[in-house]
Amino acid sequence: MSETFRQFLRALPDFPAELPEFVPGDAPTDPAELFRLWLDQALAAGERQPHAFSLATVAVTGQPSSRMLILKDIDDDGGWQFATSRASRKGQELVANQCAAMNFYWPSQGRQIRVAGAVRELSADASAADWAARPRADGGTNPAWQLYAVQPSEIEFWQAQHSRNHIRHRFGPGGRLLG
């Protein structure tokens, strides 16, 4: 049975027939600008929720976990913002280990963006403003709500290629191009 399932999985299509061209030498040198460009292209291609990403954190025991969240902003300090309750599993994991990784995936484009680095808590005022701006917020407050920012030590833009020679365009700390 497992060989049949394996064959079934291998027969599924990996990427759409048409993939966008990506020439790293022509890309913006600012990773936030390149992200915005790819986000616009994902929207134009009909990608649903292109601002959704998988956030990976690690518990004090070393157990990794991931879940889907929504990107809130990319701030002037280069922080990639998201929010959650401090009482949630991810909130507790961020207390134990202030590092995380984000992964955006846009299958219609054959694209992924990985963002990894240290996580910092943003101010109580910024967190309260984010809570108040949530859809269907009751106008009240939630003192457990916390806005965070990943300070990237690495950002990788990944473009699928049918040849399997996928393109990886990497940035290091401070948006320095790694090649």
Residue 174: what pLDDT? 82
Asked if residue 91 is part of any domain, the answer here is yes
Distance, in Å, from the CA atom of 14 to the CA atom of 89, rounded to the nearest integer, reads: 32
Distance, in Å, from the CA atom of 91 to the CA atom of 156, rounded to the nearest integer, reads: 25
Whether the predicted pLDDT of 113 surpasses 80: yes
What's the rounded mean pLDDT across residues 103-114? 97
- pLDDT tier, 3 (very low <50, low <70, confident <90, very high otherwise): confident
Asked if residue 50 is part of any domain, the answer here is yes
Distance, in Å, from the CA atom of 85 to the CA atom of 71, rounded to the nearest integer, reads: 15
Quote the radius of gyration of the chain (alpha carbons, Å): 18
Kindly give the pairing relationship between strand 145-159 and strand 167-171.
Answer: antiparallel
Asked if residue 115 is part of any domain, the answer here is yes
Full residue range of the structural domain in which residue 117 is found? 26-156
Burial class (CB in 10 A: 0-12, 13-18, 19+), 140: exposed
pLDDT in tens, 122-170: 999 999 999 999 887 776 789 999 999 999 999 999 999 998 889 999 9
- pLDDT tier, 179 (very low <50, low <70, confident <90, very high otherwise): low
Asked if residue 15 is part of any domain, the answer here is no
Whether the predicted pLDDT of 120 surpasses 70: yes
63 alpha-carbon distance from chain centroid: 20
CATH number of the domain residue 150 falls in: 2.30.110.10
Binding-site residues for FMN? 67-72, 89-90, 112
Asked if residue 59 is part of any domain, the answer here is yes
Number of independent structural domains in the chain? 1
Instruction: Write down the mean pLDDT value for the chain.
Output: 93
Asked if residue 178 is part of any domain, the answer here is no
SS3 of 84, please?
Answer: strand
Query: Sign of dihedral through CA atoms 78, 81, 86, 90?
Result: negative
What's the rounded mean pLDDT across residues 54-80? 94
**Helix (H) or strand (E) run with residue 92 in it:** helix 89-96
Unique residue bearing structure tokens 């600012």: 30
pLDDT in tens, 71-95: 999 998 889 999 999 999 999 999 9
What's the rounded mean pLDDT across residues 31-39? 97
Binding-site residues? 67-72, 89-90, 112
Asked if residue 161 is part of any domain, the answer here is no
pTM of the predicted model as reported, rounded to 2 decimal places:
0.91
SS3 of 16, please?
Answer: coil
Asked if residue 169 is part of any domain, the answer here is no
